[in-house]
Amino acid sequence: MANFDFTKRDSFGSKMGIIAAAAGSAIGLGNIWRFPYIAGENGGGAFLLVYLFFIVVIGVPVMLSEFVIGRSAQRNPLGALKNLAPKTYWFLVGFLGIAAAFFILAFYTTVAGWTLEYLYLAVTNGFQGMGADQMSSMFEQFRTSGMRPLIWQAIFMFFTAFIVYRGIKNGIEKYTKILMPALLLIIIVLCIRAITLPGGGEGLVFLFKPDFSKLTANGVMQALGQSFFSLSIGMGALITYGSYISKKDNLGITAISVTAADLVIAILAGIAIFPAVFAFGIQPEAGPGLVFITLPMIFQQMTGGYFFSLIFFLLLSIAALTSTISLLEVVVAYMSEELNVNRKKSTIIGAVSIAVLGVFCTLSQGPLPGLRIGERNLFDLLDFSSANIMLPLGGLLIVIFAGWFMGVDKVFDELSNGGKLNARYKHAFLFIIRFIAPIGIALVFLNGIGILNFFSGGDL
Ligand code: TRP
């Protein structure tokens, strides 16, 4: 088979397209489901402040490092590191990223499938008249039932593959350009509905008034972990997207726009959820069930609840889809560029093999209880090891590579588009990726693997 023709490499067609696609990757279940519930468990406002700090000080620099590596090398993560550091072991970082894409996609599509079930329930008015207990047992029953979650997971994977199959310009870019603004619109409508609920003001106070007594050291670590997952950094998804960015685009501005969009959606999700939680007397620490158990409860008690639950779960599915396509794209870019398998075949092979792992993830929720190591079933295990081990380790290696091994000239060249832009921030950036970010990430990582596990409390 002929080698991959790099002169015919696909790319994003416009600046808006890149931002929509990268923001689409970042904005997902992490923002709308995970962020509010983790913020809720860690004191709301105080968590938000710390999260904000990490996003700016570590998140933006890691993201920018990924863009710099990707656009400089014009390759998938593995090829990029092989290209920039030939005859070294750096390519293993790319390999770690591709493995992470497999793991994350496997459990992420399980949850994404749940959003489709809930979209379906919303359409068919399936929540009607249920109390909190019924809602909770319905969710438990569904989650552990096997067949239904599997079907939704398969459907979700099919949508993901369908978009990736069509390539960058005509697939990912085309769809995210429509989907992302729709998402913003829907969430703004939900926010307006939430803050006009009687008693909703308390929720806003909770989200925005810092109460540092509720923030533990573990909460600080969780804020850093959440920033990694939410920004899609640490496994090369943004190296891959970066490789499709035009040499004329400003990488610094792109990274800041994407980060800002991700942050805005997380905060809007908080604004949509907390007033409703307080208005209906539900605990903000309700945890992972918040979206799938509590929100349908809230919706059905609202005027216009049918409509709002429908658009909410539509929003959640869209957000998840634009994230899963970025994960599958990593695998497809790798296979088509490094293994010379054409894009269509790569997409099918990638999607099917990840789906196989995904099936076991979903079944480990109930029908196959033996699929576990200790406390964790396969689903939890993949979730835990990707977020707490693979992403921090990958991110750490990525900034170290960009800061110390890639070559300052090359890095500055990408930041300034070959000297055409001023990029006055470049020295500060270099300092951060050499020192600040690696140290910060190392702390999360050590906590993740348990070496720094001084604090009680949940996983990252
Ligand atoms: N950021 C997405 C979310 O918040 C998930 C995601 C997509 C992701 N691509 C990723 C996480 C790459 C880590 C790495 O839901």
Residue pair 65/399 in contact (Cβ under 8 Å)? The answer is yes
Please give the distance, rounded to the nearest whole angstrom, from the Cα atom of residue 232 to the centre of ligand 1.
4
Nearest residue (CA) to ligand 1, atom 13? 232
The pLDDT of residue 459 is above 50: no
Give me the pLDDT at residue 435, please.
97
Please give the distance, rounded to the nearest whole angstrom, from the Cα atom of residue 101 to the centre of ligand 1.
9
Bridge partner residues of 376 (DSSP): 373
Backbone angles phi, psi at 58, to 5 degrees: -115, -45
The pLDDT of residue 187 is above 90: no
Share of the chain above pLDDT 90, in %: 55
With tokens 């003001």, the residue in question is 201
Please give the distance, rounded to the nearest whole angstrom, from the Cα atom of residue 185 to the centre of ligand 1.
21
Please give the distance, rounded to the nearest whole angstrom, from the Cα atom of residue 372 to the centre of ligand 1.
24
User: What would the mean pLDDT of 307-326 be, rounded to a whole number?
Assistant: 89
- pLDDT band per the 50, 70, 90 thresholds, residue 454: very low
Mean of all residue pLDDT scores within the chain: 88
Q: What is the pLDDT of residues 58-83, one digit of tens each?
A: 999 999 999 999 999 999 999 999 99
Give me the pLDDT at residue 354, please.
97
CA distance 94 to 398: 9
Residue pair 379/364 in contact (Cβ under 8 Å)? The answer is yes
Please give the distance, rounded to the nearest whole angstrom, from the Cα atom of residue 75 to the centre of ligand 1.
20
Record the pTM: 0.91
Residue pair 54/213 in contact (Cβ under 8 Å)? The answer is no
Residues in contact with ligand 1 (CB, 6 Å cut-off): 25-26, 28-31, 104, 229-230, 232, 235, 237, 323, 326-327, 391
Nearest residue (CA) to ligand 1, atom 12? 232
Counting from 1 in the atom list of ligand 1, the atom nearest the Cα of 26 is 1
Between 220 and 56, residue with greater pLDDT:
56
Nearest to residue 39, comparing CAs of 29, 52, 49, 48? 48
Please give the distance, rounded to the nearest whole angstrom, from the Cα atom of residue 419 to the centre of ligand 1.
32
Tokens linked to 361: 């993830």
Residue pair 423/437 in contact (Cβ under 8 Å)? The answer is no
- pLDDT band per the 50, 70, 90 thresholds, residue 448: low
Share of the chain above pLDDT 70, in %: 95
Give me the pLDDT at residue 389, please.
77
CA distance 81 to 76: 9
User: To test the ligand 1 pocket, which listed residue (51, 115, 262, 327) has its Cβ within 8 A of the most ligand atoms?
Assistant: 327
453's CB contacts (< 8 A; 6+ apart) are 447
Give me the pLDDT at residue 450, please.
65
CA distance 420 to 30: 36
Counting from 1 in the atom list of ligand 1, the atom nearest the Cα of 230 is 4
Please give the distance, rounded to the nearest whole angstrom, from the Cα atom of residue 108 to the centre of ligand 1.
9
Counting from 1 in the atom list of ligand 1, the atom nearest the Cα of 320 is 15
Q: What is the pLDDT of residues 249-261, one digit of tens each?
A: 999 999 999 999 9
Nearest residue (CA) to ligand 1, atom 10? 232
Q: What is the pLDDT of residues 229-249, one digit of tens each?
A: 999 999 999 999 999 999 999
Nearest residue (CA) to ligand 1, atom 14? 232
Nearest to residue 374, comparing CAs of 428, 438, 308, 450? 450
Give me the pLDDT at residue 4, please.
77
Helix, coil or strand: residue 372: strand
| SS3 assignment for 180-208 | HHHHHHHHHHHHHHHHCCCCCHHHHHHHH
User: What would the mean pLDDT of 414-435 be, rounded to a whole number?
Assistant: 96
Residue pair 386/114 in contact (Cβ under 8 Å)? The answer is no
User: To test the ligand 1 pocket, which listed residue (226, 232, 393) has its Cβ within 8 A of the most ligand atoms?
Assistant: 232
**C-alpha 359: how far from chain center:** 21
Counting from 1 in the atom list of ligand 1, the atom nearest the Cα of 25 is 7
Please give the distance, rounded to the nearest whole angstrom, from the Cα atom of residue 233 to the centre of ligand 1.
7
User: To test the ligand 1 pocket, which listed residue (96, 226, 230, 241) has its Cβ within 8 A of the most ligand atoms?
Assistant: 230
Please give the distance, rounded to the nearest whole angstrom, from the Cα atom of residue 85 to the centre of ligand 1.
26
Quickly list DSSP for 127-160: TTT--HHHHHHHHHHHHT-SHHHHHHHHHHHHHH
Nearest to residue 87, comparing CAs of 315, 405, 382? 405
Give me the pLDDT at residue 328, please.
96
The pLDDT of residue 1 is above 70: no
Residue pair 315/162 in contact (Cβ under 8 Å)? The answer is no
| Alpha-carbon torsion angle 231, 396, 168, 336, nearest 10 | -150
- pLDDT band per the 50, 70, 90 thresholds, residue 337: very high
Length of the chain: 460
Give me the pLDDT at residue 139, please.
86
Q: What is the pLDDT of residues 108-142, one digit of tens each?
A: 999 999 999 999 999 999 888 887 778 878 988 99
The pLDDT of residue 453 is above 70: no
Q: What is the pLDDT of residues 348-403, one digit of tens each?
A: 999 999 999 999 999 998 888 888 888 788 988 887 778 777 888 899 999 999 99
Please give the distance, rounded to the nearest whole angstrom, from the Cα atom of residue 201 to the centre of ligand 1.
31
